[in-house]
Structure 1
Amino acid sequence: MSEKIPFSSRVSLQVKFFVPVFLFSTLFGIIFGSQVVKAVRGLIFERIKEVDGGRIKQTAEKVFPADYFSDNRQFYNISLFNDFSKQLRDNEIRQISVLDASGKVVFSDNEEMVGQTLSSNDFLVQAAGGKIAINNEKNGPVGSVYRIAGDSVRVYVPILMNGKGLPSGVVEIYYSLGNLQGYLVKVQWIIWLTVLIEFLIFFAVFVYFLRFLILRPVRQLNKAVSAGDLPDAGQKIRDEIFALTRSVVNMKQTVSKSSYALEMRVKERTRQLQNLADELEKEKMDYEKSNQELIETKRAVLNILEDVQEAKEEIGQEKNRLETILRSIGEGVYVVDADNKIVLFNRQAENLLVHKETDVLRVLAGEIFKIYNEKGELQAKNGQSPVDEIWRSGRADMVRGMELARKDGTRFPVIMSIAPILRRGEVAGGIVAFRDVTLEKEIDTMKSEFVSVASHQLRTPLSAIKWFLEMLIAGDAGAINENQKEFLDRAYESNERMIKLVNDLLNVSRMESGKIKFEPKPTQLGDIFQSVITELTPLTRARNITIQSAFADTKLPDVFVDPDKIRQVIMNLVSNAIKYTSGRGKIELFYERHPNELVFNIKDNGIGIPKDQQHKVFNKFFRADNVMKVQTEGSGLGLYIGRTIIEASGGRMWFSSQENKGTTFSFALPIHQQV
């Protein structure tokens, strides 16, 4: 009985190869056709993006202003949207809607949508990031042309890009593909016909390849094996199989190399994008850090100001306590007659000078009261001290910055109030009240040191604020609009005023500690006056004020001063006269020449100084009540610094004023005696 042969063994080798090849070719044709159809759909979408999307962007840039969809806009011009819609509408573009950056519909052909905020989706997010996005709704029947691209699509187009590359708004359109139906049907038939032809060609070539290049060598190999003729045919068969194998291997290597190169390019591009993202993240962090530093600086300034106020209150309380104590114990007082002999010497004077009243009565005051300046120089001229000169002149005054010597030779700082004693209009003597100001001087020194430290601490953050504001105004951190620029300019001006206040405080601290450096040289003050007038011309014109100067083309004797610091004094006096003189006012600048000195005057017809406040004019931080109403800005340090500079230059400063009539400030400087 013969052995039953399995069906698979009876099927020829050719059929075994052809059936899988046919199935593979059919599957390949279907996949290839589907990919071609997909590619056609992609081409359609790319055409919509490039042509219609580009046209929408150009139309938006022509119709809408660049910042039309800013966050603070409340109302929109409907005529602009109508013009925009009219220019875009055609057979393909049906419904048009315009959204702002937040997704809110500000215009639509469908009026029911206006004012609504569209829910976020992937396509709207892509458009908000600056890319054109297409939402393909495949709602056509199976087998129809709409399966290629759908019967309609929604296109999201970003418009009006800002400086960061992000759109200010998004346009949503419904794009109808109805006019492309005939064209797409023809394309579909052409695609499938092409696929069929390629399939038949590919199948025929593949059959030939299998039959004559693979199956025949395999049959020959089988025949050779059956006939025992393998040594003769083996080399030829082996070469053909090996050649095919080498070809496949080479093709795989080529594909691997291409794939590797493509992978390297993708990795490189990914690395570049990651680096760019890292840089953007770093810039964001730097901006957030700068913003946090500004907030911390502001908080630090507020804390320092609070500390200054607390210190000021504590100093005020200490001063009140000291004044109470001084009132309770009294001041040192002595009285002299016309011959400058002591006729009265109170108990506090005894305690301060360590002299008994019985020992000093009828003794010349100059023998008991040894007055020294802050440099330790005895103040006596022709047997008279500055105190004697004041009461003998018939005027009352107060002397500061002096020291009195006790009986044992030790000295202590005092403030002395001097007044003449008049009898029938004639000076009959003088009365002098003095008090030990050692404690007050120490407190003032502590206050100056505190102000100096606080000012130094303020300078660094204020300089940083100024630097960041300049960068923001210059656009280094990105473009800014006009409103933002106005706010930054105001912040910059306020910061400049704070820097000026800090510099004034530092100057006061240096002057009081004797650390300020003067570089005197022969100077023409007339030239400095004219320079100041020229610099302040814009301010005088803005306030409609006339300046009459006696220094134009005038040659004055030189004075031996530091020109920069004297210019600071003149600038302060003239600018004050301008600020506190109303419109159509007049300011006069003139001088008086004396044998040994020059007197310079700045006269205005402004608001003047109240009489009850004139004794405080040269005090630190003092500003008159009427000045505060006219000019709220100012530190009250200018006149104090000015008088200090004049006195340090060997001169003196004074003023005369009537409220609502005007003020004249004067200062005198000795004429430089050339050797």
Structure 2
Amino acid sequence: MLLNSRALALLLSVSISVITTAFLYLLPQVTVTALFVAFGLSFSSSYLLISVVLEFLFFKEINGINEAFENIRKKDFTEVDDPSSNPLSPLKRINEEIYSYAKIKQREIDELKKMEAFRREFLADVSHELKTPIFAAQGFVHTLLDGAVEDKSVRIKFLKKAAKSLDGLDILVHDLLTISQMETGEIKMHFEDFDVRELTEEIIEQFEEKAEKKKIKLSYTKAGKAPIYVHADFQRIYQVLTNLISNGIKYTKDEGMVEIDFEEGKHDVTIFVKDTGRGIPPEDLKRVFERFYRVEKSRSKEKGGTGLGLAIVKHIIEAHGSKVSVTSTVGKGSTFFFKLRKSDMEEIEVLRDDSPDEDE
């Protein structure tokens, strides 16, 4: 294309010079020397001007467009250059459209690659998680069928183990359905006004026995009389706090502490769930809310769970227009926290009949 632009510039320059010289030749007072000078000047100036214009404003841009189309044909959108380098080009609009198209397609390709990698990882994780309880139950049942069913003590023991494995499988399938329905929007939040402090008390009562077995101090701060009303989905926030408190107890060593704290703002309430567990390494903090992600896979397996709890927590809190976060120090513990919108309802007065009875 560079040779074509020069050839075209040469042709146009010769034509202009010939026309200019021919016009001057018609004038009687113009000498031959003047004609040669006019031809040379018009040719050189025309050639320089035309070649620069053709090269930098047209042919260079056309070359760029051709290269862009070639890369698009090869489905290589990363090589399409940003056209903003030449703002004077009359073909700038075309280049901008090509660049915009390539950028969108490259983003789609990156997203598809990311989703493909996620799909492969998800299928591998699901297969692994399903395989464990299925193989366990299968092993117990086949052992019974091979003759162990005749021994009553063995029969009862193996049936209980098989039932436990199937219960774990049922929980896993239920969690998978829950998180899938949340992602597709099938599960809607049912917002209402309730006292989150009272909700926390109910959950703590449920975990007191479990905490006592490990001699873990389970408490929450600011346990005053004043309720803290939030506008949220009661059942889903119940699920969130249950999961976070359960994890805190599960991963905290004996004689540790799990504490729930509230920080009231003007329009929202921040809820903290703190523990003195083993903590989460910095490289794992960004991934703890991913499905099936475990910081220590072997030890987490021993402690049970589906690996979907924190992913469900993340989706529930995001459905409330908020975000769940975590800070952690290895060996000292972790703190999970999120915000909920405060209720718009007026302050509820609790009437107490504490006055002495009057004698009639």
TM bin (shorter chain): 0.5 to 0.7
Give the structure 2 partner of residue 251 of structure 1: none
Alpha-carbon distance, 1:594 to partner: 1.1
Residue in structure 2 matched with residue 622 of structure 1 by the alignment: 293
- One of 357, 364, 386 as aligned partner of 2:84: 357
CA contact (8 A) 1:616 1:622 kept: yes
- Cα deviation, residue 546, structure 1: 0.9
Cα displacement string for residues 48-68 of structure 1 (whole angstroms, at most 9, x for unaligned residues): xxxxxxxxxxxxxxxxxxxxx
* Matched letter for residue 669 of structure 1: L
Residue equivalent to 1:534: 205
Which residue in 2 is equivalent to 1:666? 337
Greater Rg by CA: 1
1:443 positional shift: 3.9
After superposition, give the CA deviation of every residue in 1:476-512 in whole Å (9 maximum; x if it has no partner): xx99833322222121111111111111111121122
- TM-score normalised over the length of structure 1: 0.32
Residues 494 and 646 of structure 1: CA distance in aligned 2, closer, same or farther (over 3 Å): same
Partner of 1:439 in structure 2?
A: 112
2:276 to 602, 605, 629: 605
1:501 is aligned to 2:172: yes
Matches of 2:174 and 2:222, distance apart in 1: 30
With over 3 angstroms needed to count, the CA separation of the structure-2 counterparts of 1:525 and 1:447, relative to structure 1, is farther
SS in 2 for 1:522: strand
CA offset digits 1:48-105 (Å, max 9, x no partner): xxxxxxxxxxxxxxxxxxxxxxxxxxxxxxxxxxxxxxxxxxxxxxxxxxxxxxxxxx
Q: Is the 8 A contact 2:77 2:105 kept in 1?
A: no
The CA RMSD measured in Å over matched residues stands at 4.0
Q: Where does residue 104 of structure 1 map in the other structure? A: none
Equivalent residues of 1:448, 1:509 under 8 A apart: no
Instruction: Name 1:95's counterpart in structure 2.
Output: none
Q: Secondary structure at the match of 2:243?
A: helix
Q: For 2:120 and 2:182, how far apart are their aligned partners in 1?
A: 13
Higher strand proportion:
1
In the TM superposition, residue 526 of structure 1 has moved relative to its aligned partner by 1.3
Note if contact 2:325-2:338 (Cα within 8 Å) is conserved in structure 1. yes
Q: TM-score, normalised by structure 2?
A: 0.57
Say whether 1:491 aligns with 2:162.
yes
Deviation of the 1:593 alpha carbon: 0.9
Q: Is the 8 A contact 1:577 1:603 kept in 2?
A: yes
- Gaps of at least 5 residues in structure 2 are 1-74, 88-98, 347-360
Aligned residues of 1:530 and 1:552 also touching (Cα < 8 A): no
The equivalences for 1:263-412 within 5 A come to 350=82, 356-358=83-85
Greater helix share, structure number? 2
The structure 2 residue matched to 1:547, chosen from 218, 221, 224, is 218
Deviation at 1:674, TM superposition (A): 3.7
- Aligned residues of 2:204 and 2:219 also touching (Cα < 8 A): no
Match of 2:265 among 594, 612, 615: 594
Q: Please say if residues 280 and 328 of structure 2, whose CA atoms lie closer than 8 Å, have aligned partners that are also in contact.
A: yes
Q: Give yes or no for contact 1:527–1:551 (8 Å, CA) kept in 2.
A: no
Structure-1 residue corresponding to 2:15: none
Cα contact 1:619–1:640 (8 A) shared by 2? yes
What is the percentage of aligned positions where both structures have the same residue?
Answer: 28
Deviation at 1:663, TM superposition (A): 0.6
Q: Shift of the alpha carbon at 1:358?
A: 3.8
Task: Give, as a single letter, the amino acid of the residue that structure 2 aligns with 1:628.
Answer: S
Query: CA separation in 1, counterparts of 2:262 and 2:243?
Result: 17
Stretches of structure 1 that go unaligned for 5 or more consecutive residues are 1-325, 331-345, 351-355, 361-405, 415-433, 473-477
* Cα 1:440–1:634 shift into 2, 3 Å: farther
1:160 corresponds to: none
Alignment of 1:174-253 (within 5 A): none
- Is contact 2:285–2:326 with CA below 8 Å preserved after alignment? no
Query: What letter is aligned with 1:651?
Result: S
Flag the 1:641–1:448 CA change in 2: closer, same or farther, 3 A.
farther
2:182 to 487, 506, 511: 511
Amino acid at match of 1:439: L
In the alignment, is the contact (CA less than 8 A) between 2:171 and 2:306 conserved in 1?
A: no
Distance in 1, Cα, partners of 2:251 & 2:230: 29
Report how far residue 652 of structure 1 moved. Answer: 1.3
Task: Write the letter of the residue equivalent to 1:565.
Answer: R
CA distance in 1, matches of 2:230, 2:164: 36
Residues 183 and 315, structure 2, Cα contact 8 Å, conserved in 1: no
Among 326, 340, 354, the alignment partner of 1:655 is: 326
Report the Cα distance in structure 1 between the residues aligned to 2:103 and 2:269, rounded to whole angstroms: 35
Post-superposition Cα deviations, 1:378-399, rounded to whole Å, max 9, x if no partner, equal xxxxxxxxxxxxxxxxxxxxxx
Equivalent residue number for residue 644 of structure 1: 315
Query: In the alignment, which residue of structure 1 is the partner of 2:191?
Result: 520
With over 3 angstroms needed to count, the CA separation of the structure-2 counterparts of 1:533 and 1:574, relative to structure 1, is: same
Report the 3-state secondary structure (helix = DSSP H, G, I; strand = E; otherwise coil) of the residue aligned with 2:324.
Answer: strand
In 2, distance between residues paired with 1:596 and 1:413?
42
**How many Å apart are 1:554 and its aligned residue?**
4.2
Cα distance in 2 for partners of 1:601, 1:550 equals: 10
Call closer, same or farther: CA 1:506–1:444 in 2, change over 3 Å: farther
Cα separation, 1, equivalents of 2:115 and 2:282: 31
**Judging changes above 3 Å, is the alpha-carbon distance between structure 1 residues 450 and 329 closer, same or farther for their aligned structure 2 residues?**
same
Counterpart Cα distance in 2 of 1:613 and 1:504: 22
- Going from structure 1 to structure 2, the CA distance change for 1:644 and 1:413 (only over 3 Å counts) comes to farther
Relative to structure 1, the CA distance from residue 413 to residue 539 in structure 2 (aligned partners, 3 Å threshold; closer, same or farther) is farther
Amino acid at match of 2:241: I
Could you tell me which residue of structure 1 aligns to residue 17 of structure 2? Answer: none
AA aligned opposite 2:299: K
SS at the partner of 1:560? Answer: strand
Amino acid at match of 2:337: S
1:166 aligned residue: none
Name the CA shift for 1:601/1:449 in 2 (closer, same or farther; >3 Å): closer
Kept in 2, the 8 Å contact 1:600–1:667? The answer is: yes
Aligned runs of 1:450-489 on 2, under 5 Å?
481-489=152-160
Deviation of the 1:447 alpha carbon:
7.2
